[in-house]
């Protein structure tokens, strides 16, 4: 990570268990996973990868036990032809089930239930585990393309977001806008961008956010939040390599608390315990 430039964060929350997985990226060729025990805000390092994980093509099972992700680079180059989709035990990266891809078109997937997943696009099998299985009956709805939005936007819609509008092309980047209700009439709005002219440190796909309370005619722009989500009655977000939580009051978010600063982390080799 370049000195003075913050880590990049993206977070997956389990829908039926108080756990999550944080993807922490930086420097450019290093990424790690960190387990998040949301009831106690305890964080557990998973594994580092010398390569790239496409976090918007990843998902966490409803019970938080399994992680599916798409990656390229690293030490699995020969058996996967350079890129792969893996299903692991969260928050670890070591694959229980491993599919080779060979390119960066499609890849990744979504969980349709505990132990069941949808695989995005064509792969070849490297190894499979009886612990989890593909859901061959699942047919994803909507047409969001073959890259990150094809998984990410479907994950947002599944997890309680509503598609509000699409913007572009033209003089603005392609932008798909999603909303999610918060307590006391507040709305969390996510601007999901897709453009080669992206902010420094972001990839082709990046998010910005704002908060709105229509009854009070209140609008709070928070473009520095690179990830944000509702967690029960609270609001959680990532900003400049730090994860935060705040309670939402009628006047807006208050008593924000920094949960963990990921900026000081450095690459270390770790073996999965399975």
> Measuring CA to CA, which residue among 247, 264, 269, 265 is closest to residue 256?
247
**pLDDT in the model for residue 232:** 95
The answer to whether position 208 is within a domain reads: yes
Q: Which domain holds residue 110?
A: 8-261
**pLDDT in the model for residue 195:** 84
Over residues 194-218, the mean pLDDT reads: 88
Tell me which of 238 and 169 has the higher pLDDT.
238
Asked if 91 and 21 count as a contact pair (C-beta separation under 8 A), the reply is yes
Measured between alpha carbons, how far is 104 from 110 in angstroms, rounded to an integer?
17
Measured between alpha carbons, how far is 186 from 27 in angstroms, rounded to an integer?
36
The answer to whether position 95 is within a domain reads: yes
Tell me which of 189 and 172 has the higher pLDDT.
189
Neighbours of 81 (CB within 10 A): 15
pLDDT higher than 60, residue 3: no
Over residues 103-107, the mean pLDDT reads: 94
Asked if 161 and 138 count as a contact pair (C-beta separation under 8 A), the reply is no
**pLDDT in the model for residue 50:** 93
The answer to whether position 3 is within a domain reads: no
**Number of domains making up the chain:** 1
pLDDT higher than 70, residue 95: yes
Among 133-137, 167-171, 174-178, 219-223, the range scoring the smallest mean pLDDT is 167-171
pLDDT higher than 50, residue 96: yes
Over residues 138-149, the mean pLDDT reads: 89
Among 3-7, 70-74, 186-190, 250-254, the range scoring the smallest mean pLDDT is 3-7
Query: C-alpha angle with apex 94: 229 to 106, nearest 5 degrees?
Result: 60
The answer to whether position 144 is within a domain reads: yes
Quick: pLDDT tens for 13-69: 999 999 999 999 987 789 999 999 999 999 999 999 999 999 999 999 999 999 999
Q: Please, which pLDDT band fits residue 168 given cuts at 50, 70 and 90?
A: low
**pLDDT in the model for residue 203:** 78
The answer to whether position 266 is within a domain reads: no
The answer to whether position 63 is within a domain reads: yes
Measured between alpha carbons, how far is 114 from 142 in angstroms, rounded to an integer?
23
CA-based radius of gyration for the chain: 18
> DSSP assignment of 132-192, as one string?
SEE-TT----S---SSHHHHHHHHHHHTT-EEEEEE-SSSS-EEEEEEEE-GGG-EEEEEE
**pLDDT in the model for residue 44:** 97
**pLDDT in the model for residue 2:** 42
Quick: pLDDT tens for 210-242: 999 999 999 999 999 999 999 999 999 999 999
Over residues 180-200, the mean pLDDT reads: 91
User: The whole model's pTM is what?
Assistant: 0.94
**pLDDT in the model for residue 4:** 67
The answer to whether position 150 is within a domain reads: yes
Which residues, 6 or more positions from 2, have their beta carbon under 8 angstroms from its beta carbon? Answer: 27
């Amino acid at each position: 990570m370049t000195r003075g430039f913050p880590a990049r964060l993206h977070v997956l929350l389990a829908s039926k268990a108080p756990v999550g997985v944080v993807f922490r990226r930086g420097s450019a060729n290093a990424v790690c996973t960190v387990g998040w025990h949301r009831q106690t805000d305890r964080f557990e390092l998973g594994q580092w990868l010398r390569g790239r994980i496409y976090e918007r093509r990843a998902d966490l099972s409803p019970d938080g036990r399994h992680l599916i992700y798409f990656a390229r680079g690293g030490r699995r180059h020969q058996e996967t032809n350079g890129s792969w989709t893996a299903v692991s035990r969260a928050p670890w990266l070591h694959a229980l089930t491993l599919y080779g891809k060979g390119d960066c078109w499609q890849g990744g997937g979504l969980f349709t239930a505990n132990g069941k997943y949808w695989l995005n696009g064509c792969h070849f099998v490297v190894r499979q585990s009886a612990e989890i299985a593909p859901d061959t009956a699942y047919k994803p709805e909507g047409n969001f393309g073959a890259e990150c939005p094809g998984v990410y936007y479907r994950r947002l819609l599944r997890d309680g977001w509503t598609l509000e509008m699409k913007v572009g092309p033209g003089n603005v980047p392609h932008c798909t806008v999603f909303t999610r209700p918060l307590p006391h009439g507040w709305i969390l709005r996510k601007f999901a961008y897709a453009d080669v002219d992206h902010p420094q440190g972001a990839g082709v796909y990046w998010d910005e956010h704002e908060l709105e309370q229509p009854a009070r005619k209140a609008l709070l722009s928070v473009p520095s939040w690179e990830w944000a989500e509702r967690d029960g009655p609270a609001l959680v977000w990532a900003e400049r390599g730090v994860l935060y939580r705040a309670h939402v009051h009628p006047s807006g978010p208050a008593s924000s608390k920094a949960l963990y600063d990921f900026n000081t982390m450095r690459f270390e080799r770790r073996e999965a315990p399975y």
